């Protein structure tokens, strides 16, 4: 006993949180049973708090704050800063995102800290000579960078709903950056995969490519510049990032290297507080409520519209061709509406009430053939309206917009001992963003590519035609698919979910909701279950390879075009056991996600 206590004391003194968790008996995801492909089959169970992320060190940072008496918002802010250190591909302080908060007293809020276009941005800034799009300029280098929102958003969340000081919650991230952490095999491979773009920028080359010598799995990865920046933010708050030394470093480099961001752009950036979208459903004798993301997220509207259309559809599971067919047909129609109507609500009239109205869902669903695939050429956006209002009295422009987000966003979920919950998704857009690293030690986003870069031309990444509704304009926020979502069961917290993955964010999150509410899956099974996606254009179902060939053949027989993909989405969720209130952490094994609780 004396030896064990001495070990725990030493661990505390040196801040080794992983060993501390072991001393205190924290659940370890490696102790659970696994299936044939090595995926855990049971959620991590804990009686107090839980954090689920893509990276174990990020989850541990959040749990460290929970153990110190912090609430879910404190832990979420700590987790976000820690992921900025240990998950450079997507975790960030140089990007932006969304945070959905539901407090134990029932209060909810949605924080939008999406990036915005700089004042010098123009509609045709990526169109070169002869009217051709410079496809690289919007994704690589300083010209692709939008004004970051993450630091302002996290600071606002902490100030409004947290209970700890910024210096306290940012401490785990500083420690990870300063002392370093072992590079995993996956991270070493990521650096190698992104070497061609990272090596074009001196700071990126030095930090992430070991100045050309390349890191190997097991090497310690230290980020001294990032640690110094985090320390300045800890001392001076978000103002450091938006008007202090960090701001000047970012702007000085941008001005020399073709970027548009000015000190004025940074100084006037403000996160937005928006009203949470809600929808209620009665399923199997329980009253369910969905809390989800409003515009400029398109995901919350899409998920509620889909759930409305599927209310009367019997779902048997994803090995049943009729279930997959019906959900795919619903996705097809939801994405047609998404393309027509969703945009930045501060600058566009988005018919949210009509799109999420059950009456409208019935009209749209009536066009579904239960036995045969529709043709996307014949499917167009509907005319959304609320019950009792004639559709002919309200008109909206039929424009098409881009889908938003590269596939390398990241989502994390947090629940504390009191029942406060946070679902948060944030992004650099594409993996490693613009691949430019500021001298202050952090990667910068390439979020300008989420705008319409060439109206009327198909989006190269996801294939949708783009239009003026999402065109580049100073101060505008690009449309997003990020969809942090929380479910209530009979008025009580039940499920916290979300995903990265570009447009597949919507389908991955929707499927996790259906798996939990409609199919009654255990939490880890709800995350492990195979995923599929239809986005209207291109007209095909994307299917993970885990689906049997027989199901694909049956879908083809119904007229669906299909294409196999590897993994789709990375859902990190937390469920609540209705019997005893235990937190059930279900991280996505597709990325070796980690749920950590206590």
Q: And the tokens for 65?
A: 């704050």
| Beta strand 583-586 pairing with 44-46 | antiparallel
Per-residue b or e along 424-451, where b marks 16 or more CB atoms closer than 10 Å to that residue's CB: bbbbbbbbbbbbbbbebbbbbbbbbbbb
Q: And the tokens for 221?
A: 């990865």
Determine the Cα–Cα distance for residues 168 and 155; give it in Å rounded to an integer: 12
- The number of CA neighbours under 13 Å toward the Cβ of 399 is 19
| Of residues 321, 255, 291, the one with CA closest to residue 550 | 321
Q: And the tokens for 9?
A: 């004391």
Q: How many CB atoms lie within 10 A of CB 188?
A: 17
For residues 151, 152, 153 and 154, what is the CA-based torsion angle, rounded to 10 degrees? 50
Catalytic annotation present for 409: yes
DSSP state of 83: H
Q: And the tokens for 454?
A: 């060439």
Determine which one of 409, 410, 427, 483 is catalytic: 409
H or E element in which residue 102 lies:
strand 96-102
Phi, psi of 574 (to 5 degrees): -135, 125
Per-residue b or e along 365-396, where b marks 16 or more CB atoms closer than 10 Å to that residue's CB: beebeeeebbebeebebbbbbbeeeeeeeeeb
- Those residues whose C-beta lies under 8 Å from the C-beta of residue 273, and which sit 6 or more positions away, are 109, 110, 111, 112, 156
Determine the Cα–Cα distance for residues 568 and 407; give it in Å rounded to an integer: 9
Task: Specify which residues 287 forms β-bridges with.
Answer: 282
Q: And the tokens for 516?
A: 């939990």
Query: 218 by DSSP, 3-state: which?
Result: coil
Determine the Cα–Cα distance for residues 114 and 230; give it in Å rounded to an integer: 20
- Those residues whose C-beta lies under 8 Å from the C-beta of residue 6, and which sit 6 or more positions away, are none
| Of residues 343, 346, 299, the one with CA closest to residue 499 | 299
DSSP state of 373: P
Q: Is 213 exposed, middle or buried (0-12, 13-18, 19+ CB in 10 A)?
A: exposed
Q: And the tokens for 237?
A: 């708050």
DSSP state of 491: T
Phi, psi of 212 (to 5 degrees): 95, -10
Determine the Cα–Cα distance for residues 284 and 288; give it in Å rounded to an integer: 10
Active-site positions read: 409
């Amino acid at each position: 006993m004396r030896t064990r206590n001495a070990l725990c004391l030493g661990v505390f003194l040196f801040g080794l949180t992983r060993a501390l968790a072991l001393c205190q008996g924290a659940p370890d995801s490696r102790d659970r049973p696994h299936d044939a492909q090595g995926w855990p089959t049971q959620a991590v169970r804990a009686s107090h708090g839980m954090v689920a992320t893509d990276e174990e060190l990020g989850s541990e940072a959040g749990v460290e704050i929970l153990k110190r008496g912090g609430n879910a918002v404190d832990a979420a802010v700590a987790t976000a800063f820690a992921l900025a250190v240990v998950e450079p591909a997507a975790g960030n302080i140089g990007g932006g995102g969304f945070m959905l908060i539901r407090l134990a007293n029932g209060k909810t809020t949605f924080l939008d800290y999406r990036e915005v276009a700089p004042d010098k941005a123009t509609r045709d800034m990526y169109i070169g000579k002869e009217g051709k799009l410079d496809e690289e300029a919007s994704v690589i280098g300083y010209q692709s960078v939008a004004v970051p929102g993450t630091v302002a958003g996290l600071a606002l969340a902490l100030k409004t709903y947290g209970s700890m000081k910024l210096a306290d919650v940012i401490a785990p991230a500083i420690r990870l950056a300063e002392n370093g952490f072992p590079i995993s095999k996956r991270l070493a491979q990521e650096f190698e995969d992104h070497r061609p773009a990272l090596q074009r920028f001196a700071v990126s080359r030095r930090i992430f490519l070991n100045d050309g010598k390349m890191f190997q799995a097991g090497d310690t990865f230290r980020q001294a510049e990032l640690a110094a920046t985090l320390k300045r933010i800890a001392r001076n708050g978000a103002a450091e990032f938006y008007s202090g030394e960090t701001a000047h470093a970012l702007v000085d480099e941008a001005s020399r290297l073709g970027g548009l961001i000015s000190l004025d752009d940074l100084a006037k950036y403000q996160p937005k507080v928006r009203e949470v979208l809600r929808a209620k459903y009665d399923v199997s004798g329980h009253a369910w409520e969905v809390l989800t993301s409003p515009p400029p997220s398109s995901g919350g509207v899409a998920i509620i519209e889909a759930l409305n259309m599927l209310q009367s559809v019997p779902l048997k599971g994803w090995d049943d061709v009729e279930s997959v067919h019906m959900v795919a047909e619903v996705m097809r129609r939801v994405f047609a509406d998404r393309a027509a109507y969703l945009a930045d609500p501060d600058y566009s009239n988005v018919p949210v009430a009509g799109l999420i109205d059950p009456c409208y869902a019935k009209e749209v669903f009536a066009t579904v053939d239960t036995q045969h695939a529709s043709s996307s050429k014949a499917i167009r956006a509907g005319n959304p309206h609320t019950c009792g209002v004639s559709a002919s009295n309200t008109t909206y422009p039929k424009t098409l917009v881009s889908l938003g987000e590269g596939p390398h966003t990241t989502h994390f979920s947090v629940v504390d001992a009191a029942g406060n919950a946070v679902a948060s998704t944030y992004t650099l857009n594409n993996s490693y963003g613009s691949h430019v690293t500021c001298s202050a030690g952090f990667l910068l986003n390439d979020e300008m590519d989420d705008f319409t870069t060439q109206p009327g031309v198909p989006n190269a990444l996801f294939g949708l035609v783009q239009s003026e509704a999402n065109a580049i304009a100073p101060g505008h926020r690009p449309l997003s698919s990020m969809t942090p979502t929380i479910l209530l069961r009979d008025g009580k917290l039940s499920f916290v979910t979300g995903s990265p993955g570009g447009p597949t964010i919507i389908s991955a999150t929707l499927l996790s909701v259906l798996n939990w509410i409609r199919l009654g899956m255990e939490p880890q099974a709800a995350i492990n279950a195979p995923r599929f996606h239809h986005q209207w254009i291109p007209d095909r179902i994307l299917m993970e390879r885990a689906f049997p060939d027989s199901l694909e053949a049956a879908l083809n027989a119904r007229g669906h075009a299909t294409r196999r993909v590897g993994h789709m989405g990375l859902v990190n969720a937390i469920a609540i056991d209705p019997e005893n209130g235990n937190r059930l952490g279900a991280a996505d094994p597709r990325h070796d996600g980690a749920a950590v609780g206590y």
